[in-house]
């Protein structure tokens, strides 16, 4: 089993873990109702995805 000869410092460990880019999620406008929706997700307001009904939403009266 491999065993390191020297301890890796905290600074070196943290530097190794910083090479990613955190980006905000892509938000688009629903083609049916116009509300903001996360990309590749069903609309929470109307239940449509790519212009087709995906989830039957009941209207609150």
Burial class (CB in 10 A: 0-12, 13-18, 19+), 44: middle
Chain centroid offset of residue 5 CA: 40
Query: Residue 25 corresponds to which tokens in the numbers above?
Result: 């999620």
Query: Residue 40 corresponds to which tokens in the numbers above?
Result: 């590749």
- Name the maximum alpha-carbon separation found in the chain: 70
3-58 residue pLDDT tens: 888 998 999 888 887 777 678 789 999 999 999 999 999 999 999 999 899 988 77
Predicted confidence band of residue 61 (pLDDT cuts 50, 70, 90):
low
pTM of the model: 0.55
| Distance from the first to the final alpha carbon of the chain | 66
Predicted confidence band of residue 59 (pLDDT cuts 50, 70, 90):
low
């Amino acid at each position: 089993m491999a065993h390191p000869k020297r301890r890796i410092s905290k600074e070196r460990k943290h530097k190794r873990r910083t090479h990613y880019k955190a980006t905000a999620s892509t938000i688009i406008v629903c083609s049916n109702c116009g509300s903001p929706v996360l990309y590749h997700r069903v609309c929470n307001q109307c239940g449509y995805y790519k212009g087709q009904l995906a989830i039957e939403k009941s209207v609150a009266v």
